Amino acid sequence: MSTQTSSDKITRGACPHDCPDTCAWQVMVQNGTAIKLVGDSDHPFTRGVLCAKVDHYLERVYSPERILYPMRRVGAKGEGKFERVSWDEALMDISGRLQDIIAQNGPTAILPYSYMGTQGLIQRDAGHPFFDRLGTTRLVRNICGSAGFAGSVVTNGISPPTLPEDIVHSRFIILWGTNTVVTNLHLWPFIQQARKNGATLVVIDPAKTRTAAQADWHVQPLPGTDAALALGMMHVIVQESLYDADYVERYTLGFEPLRERLTEYPPERAAQITGLEADEIIKLAKAYATTRPTAIRTLIGLEHHSNGAMMHRTIKCLPALVGAWRERGGGIIGGPAEAFFRSLNIAAVRKPELEDQNIRSVNMVQLGQALTSHELDPPIRSLIVHSSNPAAIAPNQNLVLQGLRREDLFTVVHEQFLTDTARSADYVLPATTQLEHADLLWSWGHKYLTLNQPAIEPLGEAVPNTEFFRRLAASLGLEDAHLFTSDEERIRTLLTSDHPYLDGISYEQLEENGWAPLNLPADYCSLAEGGFATPSGKCEFYAESLIAQGLDPLPTHVPPKESPVGDPELARRYPLMLLTAKSALHFLNSSYANLPRHLKAEGAPHLDLHMDDAVPRDIRDGDQVRVYNDRGEVKLRARVGNRIRTGVVSMPSGWWASLSPGGSSANALTADGLSDLGGGGDFHDTLVEVEKVMQPVVTG
């Protein structure tokens, strides 16, 4: 059977999504229409394979539900009724409204909101110079990665990680709070290769994810207790003298105070905190310390707790303790993000010098609070959103929706689809997809730089983020040249750098080949002889810097804020911990959660609960249940079994409230507090109760 399709053009590009894999793709175009999109088979990380979402990207591009023209609200706020208007009419009205708001309350009454609809370097941050120029409130975009990063940096600095492809050399791999098969699919073949070579795969996750189900060993601690697990492991490793005394002596700081701290965490106590058996902790510690090379991979699930940074900081002490950095394939697996940001000329496009750090900021995790606050002066009167769907992805969804539905909030949303956020807008403006615009892609999961070239003309009147902000700037009468540079100019500027990592990489070369690996030196990843990018130059078991931030300078377990131990009073009413991770294989955050194929493949959202928690509540597999706390409720079907440990329940994130049974989705329940460091969210510090619902749930 031939898989060849005749086309008159093949365009090289890259997946724009917020995912570590950043796949290189090729698009076959016939008579101006994209007819086929495939993963680049020559790309060492994509290897010709796309995921369950992006394999059908053309359905997204050509979906009848795409927004293709500017639309103005005609119905009530949030009702989703709009009329088509021209770009000129929309821009004239929008700029007039913004000018009025600026005249009355000053520019900080405007709040930009954006996240990672696209990761491309020029589209993602296209609004920054525009908002800096106006002097609007600044958005702290910390919903993902910041807490884990902040915690890891305390221990190891911004040291180069062990590159994902090197995991093939590992013989003991711990996927610690990350669901690789769903969220980082293209790393999986490398892990499988390592296993073929004899590696053991451990997954540490309260949930039996698709990844955990395939592991050799699944360890299921209570959420938010992983620091205690790591401390218990370190206790065993030190007590049994399984640590690398030479590495510790030469390249770490604070071993003696750490050793002292570890006396507080014998395996029995770690077991009591984590809900594991002491024997399992001992066995894990011994296996980790005695198998070489040994690698740990963390991503984001683990950081979404009030103690998320401390958990990352504590876990990241393990490799230095056992000297895992000595061998290729040992240490902490991560993408070389810092290498992209160090070598590309990002500042020339982003212009950080024009950002006034003294202007007030709002953390994106707390959008609901900001929009409903009576204390903000001036209040937020206008919200300008692109590349994000806060109505679905921000915590405390009911507060977010209450804010978005304020009659006196002037909201503009630049989008591909009529998301729950766009539904609440006064203006919805059409955004292009990755097939219709240009961009340069970095990756947080591998070392390849990719050029995305437009394969087709924009559909309807859709425009890229860059053009949206050029038009807004022009309509407001701004004249600064840097606001109006072309997309190609911006990409060429990014590549204008004499950093050795970019040696031999040019715009023309990327145009031809689509992608190129950064020229990382052979010893890029090596911490074999120390050289940590910390204040002391060592791996810091003891970190002085934490004291000033009000944290323990030593690794420690702090109970998660909203948990049975952290808040026993609340836990009397809401005794179960709720996880709302990215378990929906066919969604990318809330993207694709409106497309028929992806919705059908996902089926309905379920609440997973353990038999021991179901029986006392008289809940059987398939029953309709109501999951609730003071912030909201979600109605869905129960799935009783072994997909989650006792004391914890879980449901997928990503679902749009408007398309969910019961009319609300996971974030209706989630906490909107911040992490201990890095200003991240604490989504997974959420307590709930579950009850059986007698009347059938209406499916949306």
Ligand X SMILES: Nc1nc2c(c(=O)[nH]1)N[C@H]1C(S)=C(S)[C@@H](COP(=O)(O)OP(=O)(O)OC[C@H]3O[C@@H](n4cnc5c(=O)[nH]c(N)nc54)[C@H](O)[C@@H]3O)O[C@H]1N2
26 lies in the binding site for ligand X (CB under 6 A): no
65 burial type by CB count under 10 A (0-12 exposed, 13-18 middle, 19+ buried): exposed
Residues in contact with ligand X, counted by CB under 6 A, come to a total of 59
Residues 6+ apart with CB under 8 A from 112: 127, 131, 136, 137, 138, 139, 384, 385
Q: Does 415 bind ligand X (CB under 6 A)?
A: yes
With CB under 5 to 8 Å by kind, the binding choice for 415 among Mo ion, ligand X, none is ligand X
Cβ partners under 8 Å of residue 435, min gap 6: 13, 27, 34, 37, 57, 58, 61, 454, 455, 456
163 binds, among ligand X, Mo ion, none (CB under 5 to 8 A by kind): none
Span 13-42, contacts to Mo ion by CB under 5 A:
none
Closest residue to ligand X, Cβ-based? 301
Q: Which of 590, 624, 629, 664 is in the footprint of ligand X by CB under 6 A?
A: 590
Residue 207 CB, nearest approach to ligand X (Å): 4
Residue 124 touches which of ligand X, Mo ion, none (CB < 5 to 8 A by kind)? none
Query: Which 315-374 residues touch ligand X, going by CB under 6 A?
Result: none
CA distance 98 to 609: 48
Regarding 392 and contact with Mo ion (CB under 5 A), the answer is no
Residues 219-278 that bind ligand X (CB under 6 A): 221, 223-224, 226
Choose, by CB under 6 A, the member of 147, 579, 595, 638 that binds ligand X.
Answer: 579
Q: Which stretch binds ligand X (CB under 6 A): 26-34, 263-271, 412-420, 624-632?
A: 412-420
Site for ligand X in 629-668 (CB under 6 A): 653-654, 666-667
Q: Does 591 bind ligand X (CB under 6 A)?
A: yes
Query: Using CB atoms, what's the residue nearest to Mo ion?
Result: 144
- 139 contacts 386 by C-beta, under 8 angstroms: no
Rounded distance, CA 692 to CA 628, Å?
A: 11
* Rg of the chain taking only CA atoms, in angstroms: 25
Question: Of the two residues 47 and 292, which places its CB atom closer to ligand X in the complex?
Answer: 47
Neighbours of 197 (CB within 10 A): 12
Work out whether 40 is an interface residue with ligand X (CB under 6 A).
no
**174 or 693: whose CB is closer to ligand X?**
174
Phi, psi for 450 (deg, rounded to 5): -130, 140
**What is the Cα–Cα distance from 170 to 530, expressed in whole angstroms?**
20
Closer residue to ligand X in complex, CB, 102/139: 139
178 binds, among ligand X, Mo ion, none (CB under 5 to 8 A by kind): ligand X
Q: Which does 606 bind (CB under 5 to 8 A by kind): Mo ion, ligand X, none?
A: none
315 binds, among ligand X, Mo ion, none (CB under 5 to 8 A by kind): none
Contact residues for 370 (Cβ-Cβ < 8 A; gap 6+): 111, 362, 376, 380, 403
CB of 516 to ligand X, least distance (A): 23
**What are the DSSP calls for 291-358, one per residue?**
SSSEEEE--SGGGSSTTHHHHHHHHTTHHHHHTGGGSTT-EEE---HHHHHHHS-HHHHH-GGG--TT
Tokens for 187, please give them.
């790393």
Given 70, 117, 254, 605, the residue binding ligand X (CB under 6 A): 117
Closest contact distance (angstroms) between CB of 696 and ligand X is 26
Specify the stretch interacting with ligand X by CB under 6 A; choose among 71-79, 172-180, 232-240, 619-627: 172-180
Interaction partner, residue 397 (ligand X, Mo ion, none; CB < 5-8 Å by kind): none
Residue of 12, 13, 15, 18 that binds ligand X (CB under 6 A) = 18
Residue 144 in tokens: 């993902």
Cα(490)–Cα(15) distance, integer angstroms: 19
Q: Which is nearer to ligand X, 156 or 388 (CB)?
A: 388
Binding of ligand X by 589 (CB under 6 A): yes
Residue 82 near ligand X by CB under 6 A = no
Distances (CA, A) of 485 to 90, 129, 349, 511, 588: 23, 12, 9, 20, 31
- Within 10 Å of residue 359's Cβ, how many Cβ atoms? 14
Q: Which residues pair with 112 in a beta bridge?
A: 384
Question: Which residues in 401-427 are b (16+ Cβ under 10 Å) and which e?
Answer: bebbbbeebbbbbbbbbbbbbbbbbbb
By CB under 5 A, residue 588 contacts Mo ion: no
| Candidates 144-152, 337-345, 418-426, 486-494; binding stretch for Mo ion (CB under 5 A) | 144-152
* Shortest Å distance, C-beta 355 to ligand X: 21
Give yes or no for residue 493 binding ligand X (CB under 6 A).
Answer: no
Q: Which amino acid is at 515?
A: W
State the residue for tokens 């978005």: 404
Identify each DSSP E strand in 294-404 by its residue range: 294-297, 331-333, 361-363, 382-386
Q: Which amino acid is at 112?
A: P
- The binder of 472, among Mo ion, ligand X, none, by C-beta within 5 to 8 A per type, is none
Select from Mo ion, ligand X, none the partner in contact with residue 93, using the beta carbon and a kind-dependent cut-off of 5 to 8 Å. Answer: none
Give yes or no for residue 144 binding Mo ion (CB under 5 A). yes
Which two structure tokens, joined as six digits, stand for 670? 């989630």
Q: How many helices (H) and strands (E) does the chain have?
A: 26, 27
Which residues bind to ligand X, rule: CB under 6 A? 18-19, 115-118, 123, 143-144, 176-179, 182-183, 204-207, 209, 221, 223-224, 226, 299-302, 305, 386-389, 392-393, 414-417, 419, 431, 465, 579-582, 585, 587-591, 653-654, 666-667, 670, 683-684
The residues that touch Mo ion, with contacts defined as CB under 5 A, are 144
